[in-house]
A and B are shown apart, each in its own frame.
Chain A
């Protein structure tokens, strides 16, 4: 028996990506986890074990901020799941209708916000919703709804939901595109076979197309989850690092940023910041594991 030949070309082709990914992703990740176990005492870095996490979850102030941010983050995610993804699926279903005219135009128009920078989106919506210069108050006035206008971004009860909906507006193109691609890949024969059995129109969508795009919906859900729990930019661009009013729009990303880099007179604390970043990593890891082992393995896939 010959010893198996080492296939060098595999190593060579893997090396660049592996190297880049290790230096800019894996190493910083583990370094952050490590940093969370240290603290600065008298300008020297000392190992403190899990003390930072004890402070984060045990100290009433820290834990109140943390749970507030986590709760807000969940609400942010829930809005995306309840609004963004159903709308994305609906739009994809409409767009994939063979008799729809200008489908490419709609597709592009809906996808364009996705490639805009968060800063532009945050700023544009702040202006649109501004009670002073915004077009929203006048538009609502012109249809007789002027009395219902509120400075939504400035009110504790509505600011987070408003921001979540802005984010939905920005990113609805992603589920749209993924579902659209999945819908297009469904062979005509299956739909025609369904027609022969009398399944047409809406019934065809619910009974044939939806089961076939479920894996895509699963992927979208997990992308939404990871994206939302890593979110930071939009809140920072629209509300600033203090995530006002009264921290009602504070999510884990802004909480971590404030702690890590400091804010105004608050000096940065890289160690507590790393502890929060580690907690974020754990939350996302748990979420992804639940999906991978609890849901994805149970999804039925069809081969055509």
Chain B
């Protein structure tokens, strides 16, 4: 492995002199699912760290996103996992911590740079131990083709009525597919649909925590209303959206054939590279004019320490650095759309990323409703929500029926909802 990093090695030697490759060197290996970011880690992030920490080499060894959890679990069980583990939010990482695979990082100095909400995705339920250093969140909203909007004389919609007026206007013109989304892969319907527009109805954290506490039910109006809106989306998606996959939707939008794309901010990098038109973004429209707005600002990625790592000390110094302002700035600018969770105010250059992050000032942040605690049992609420959202958009299930089904499934195993 070390030979394959010849390029990085050469770079390091030019900076640090020939002594860098001495025998006391520690090599840290990072497990990750972000294989898209391989070049970024190798060319930007790791050299920046290694320049300040002679004697520590870092290797980024990602696996495919869909296989990451399974691969990581087998590696941890076999004792062959890397020193640093990229953490999925909530239960997947919590299970690793409870099984003794992740070390408690509560005593890390850098933890002071993160708010309790930012840490919540990588804490025990009682908040007593934090086991991963938060790296980034993703924000949901809608990205649109600004040139198409200008051509049709449209403005960013503020309310749900405006939103459908805009969609109607695009549909009437006929030059663009109003909105690019399909239901073949199902997850977009829940992630970019239900959990994108929903917080405006269930009022963000209030509704989410109410659901966890058992004070609210998925059949309450504020949880059914997002399904009612989704049921109207079907008319504005392209022909054959039932078989349209996630990459299909991305391509439809970046080729300029669709005007609006229900998005997560992680799309920004790809869209900047693919689309040759000007893009804008607007937050999920509020139900009534003047309502407070809520956005899904989802804690998505963090990094923790393999409890069995022989290089714990070096790994801790890497984690301290991940919690620093320098890392936050490098990461947020190298990957526009992945926003730092730290308390530092990070300057970003990408206009679209700036637009997304500006909503944090105007709106209240929340995370996806199904991620914390509620997807611990069988049936799994998150997976059921994919199915229900896709069904509602296809018109195969009424919003009320979908909500009832989800509630029954949740109540079947979650005591506070019984």
Which of B36-44, B161-169, B242-250, B349-357 lies at the interface with chain A? B242-250
B184 at the A interface (CB under 8 A): yes
Q: Are A240 and B185 in contact (CB under 8 A)?
A: yes
Interface membership of B159, Cβ < 8 A: no
Say if the beta carbon of B91 comes within 8 Å of chain A: yes
With beta carbons under 8 angstroms apart, the residue of B240, B383, B409 that contacts A131 is B240
Q: Are A153 and B184 in contact (CB under 8 A)?
A: yes
| Residue B183, interface by CB 8 Å | yes
Contacts of A153 in B (CB 8 A): 184, 243
Find the A residue at minimum CB distance from B99: A43
Question: Are B239 and A264 touching (Cβ within 8 A)?
Answer: no
Tell me, yes or no, whether A247 is within 8 Å of chain B by CB. Answer: yes
Do B375 and A265 touch across chains, with their CB atoms under 8 A apart? yes
B242 proximity list for chain A (CB < 8 A): 151, 154-155, 245
Closest to A266 in B: B380
| A247→B391 CA distance, assembly (Å) | 11
Contacts A245-B394, A264-B187, A265-B91 given; indicate if A61 touches B241 (C-beta within 8 A). Answer: no
The majority secondary structure among interface residues of chain A is: loop
- Verify if A296 is at the interface (C-beta below 8 Å from B): no
Do B390 and A244 touch (CB < 8 A)?
A: yes
Closest to A133 in B: B248
Contact, CB under 8 Å: A154 / B92: no
Q: Is the CB of A154 within 8 A of B184?
A: yes
Interface residues on A, range: 20 to 34
Tell me the nearest residue of chain B to A272, going by C-beta: B378
Q: Assess whether A132 is in contact with B184, with CB atoms less than 8 Å apart.
A: no
Q: Which of A61, A154, A240, A269 contacts B244 (CB 8 A)?
A: A154
B244 touches A151 (CB 8 A): yes
With A242-B186, A265-B92 as contacts: A132 and B383 at CB distance below 8 Å: no
Question: When the two chains form the complex, which single residue of A137, A244, A266 contacts B387, counting CB atoms closer than 8 Å?
Answer: A244
Question: Taking the nearest CB of chain A, how far is it from the CB of B382, in angstroms?
Answer: 4
User: Does any Cβ of A come within 8 Å of B32's Cβ?
Assistant: no
Give B238-269 as 1s and 0s: 1 = Cβ < 8 Å from A's Cβ atoms. 11111111001001100000000000000000
A126 to B243, CA, bound (A): 9
Question: Does residue A262 face the partner (Cβ distance < 8 Å to B)?
Answer: yes
* Cβ 8 A contact of A151, one of B187, B240, B371, B383: B240
A47 within 8 A of B: no
Q: Does A129 contact B (CB under 8 A)?
A: yes
Given contacts A132-B238, A132-B240, A153-B184, contact A126 B245 (CB under 8 A): yes
Query: Which residue of the partner chain, among B92, B390, B409, contacts A267 with CB atoms under 8 Å?
Result: B92
B382 near A264: Cβ-Cβ < 8 Å:
yes
In the complex, which residue of chain B has the Cβ closest to the Cβ of A238?
A: B184
Whether A130 contacts B248 by the Cβ 8 Å rule is yes
B contact residues around A265 at 8 Å (CB): 90-92, 370-371, 375, 380, 382-383
For residue B64, CB closer than 8 A to chain A, the reply is no
Q: Is B23 an interface residue (CB 8 A)?
A: no
A153 and B245 CA atoms in complex are apart in Å by 11
Minimum Cβ distance to chain A for residue B307 (Å): 15
- Are A245 and B183 neighbours in the complex by a CB distance under 8 Å? yes
> Are B243 and A152 in touch, CB under 8 angstroms?
yes
Complex Cα gap A43–B97 (Å): 13
B383 CB contacts on chain A under 8 angstroms? 242, 263-266
Interface readout for B83-102 with A: 1 if CB under 8 Å, 0 if not?
00000001110010011000
Q: B91–A267 contact, CB under 8 A?
A: yes
Judge whether A61 and B409 touch: CB under 8 Å. Answer: yes
Whether the pair A246, B243 counts as a contact (CB closer than 8 A) is no
In the assembled complex, A156 has its CB within 8 A of some CB on chain B: yes
| Contact call A132/B382, Cβ cutoff below 8 A | no
Bound Cα distance A239, B184 (Å):
7
A261 adjacent to chain B (CB < 8 Å): yes
CB under 8 Å from chain B, chain A span 117-136: 126, 129-133
Q: Which residues of B contact A262 (CB under 8 A)?
A: 69-70
List 22 A-B pairs, Cβ < 8 Å: A43-B98, A43-B99, A61-B378, A61-B379, A61-B412, A126-B243, A130-B243, A131-B241, A132-B240, A150-B240, A153-B184, A239-B184, A240-B185, A244-B186, A244-B387, A245-B184, A245-B242, A245-B396, A262-B70, A265-B90, A265-B92, A265-B375
Q: Residues on A close to B: CB < 8 A?
A: 43, 61, 126, 129-133, 137, 150-156, 239-240, 242, 244-247, 261-269
Going nearest first, the 8 A-B pairs with the smallest beta carbon separation are A131-B240, A154-B242, A154-B243, A151-B243, A151-B240, A266-B380, A265-B375, A265-B382
